[in-house]
């Protein structure tokens, strides 16, 4: 809970957060920053958040109706996989939903019938969930000025007592125009 609150305080509250710097690079492939961590593979998974502090992972998955379309009232959901215990699924708690990993502001206003939304700890970043040409759910956003489908987000967490520090985060995805791997590194200044 404290890590979620710290993330929210560091990234979500503009008046309290330091300014940030973003750098986007093209890569040969999307790296696994912690290859020893389990690789999530949930039904309808669209991306996940991995943290340096332990292997517990927040999974984001599409909610599909019986026809394979996104559910209009709740097209995306988030939950934990507690890999450092026994891998069980766990709901986000109230603080995590409201201040860190929860889904905010879902609207049916994105390109090609997609839904826009925000992750609570990144209110400045709009993400979109939609279906690709094959009907597979995906989440995309801009990495700099390039549209990319998100694969995963990595948080660097430094434990400093009750309030851990999150000095940087990394977004990894695939450029929607040319299919190349992209990496956006965001650091607090």
The predicted structure's pLDDT at residue 29: 98
**Domain contains 40:** no
Q: Model confidence over 44-101: pLDDT tens digits? A: 999 999 999 999 999 999 999 999 999 999 999 999 999 999 999 999 999 889 888 9
Considering its fold, how many domains does the chain have in total?
Answer: 1
d(C-alpha 105, C-alpha 160), whole Å: 32
Q: Which domain holds residue 144?
A: 2-12+22-32+45-188
d(C-alpha 120, C-alpha 103), whole Å: 6
The predicted structure's pLDDT at residue 162: 67
**Domain contains 50:** yes
- Using alpha carbons, select from 185, 166, 183 the residue that is nearest to residue 174: 183
**Domain contains 68:** yes
Segment 155-168 mean pLDDT: 79
What residue has token string 């939609």? 130
**Domain contains 38:** no
**Domain contains 17:** no
> pTM score, two decimals?
0.88
Contact of 80 with 70, CB cutoff 8 Å: no
Apex 179 CA angle, 175 and 184, nearest 5? 30
Compute the chain's Rg from CA coordinates. 16
């Amino acid at each position: 809970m404290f890590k979620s609150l710290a993330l929210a305080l560091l990234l979500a509250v503009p008046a309290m957060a330091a300014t940030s710097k973003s750098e986007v690079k093209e890569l040969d492939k999307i790296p696994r920053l912690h290859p020893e961590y389990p690789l999530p593979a949930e039904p309808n998974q669209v991306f996940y958040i991995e943290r340096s502090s332990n292997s517990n992972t927040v999974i984001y998955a599409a909610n599909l109706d019986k026809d394979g379309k996104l559910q209009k009232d709740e097209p995306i959901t988030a939950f934990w996989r507690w890999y450092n215990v026994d891998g069980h699924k766990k709901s986000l708690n109230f603080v995590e939903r409201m201040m860190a990993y929860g889904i905010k502001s879902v609207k049916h206003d994105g390109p090609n019938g997609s839904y826009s939304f925000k992750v609570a700890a990144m209110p400045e970043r709009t993400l979109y969930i939609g279906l690709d040409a094959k009907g597979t759910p995906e989440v995309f956003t801009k990495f700099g000025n390039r549209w990319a489908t998100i694969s995963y987000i990595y948080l660097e967490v430094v434990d400093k007592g009750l309030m851990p520090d999150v000095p940087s985060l990394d977004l990894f995805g695939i450029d929607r125009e040319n299919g190349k791997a992209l990496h956006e590194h965001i650091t607090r200044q």
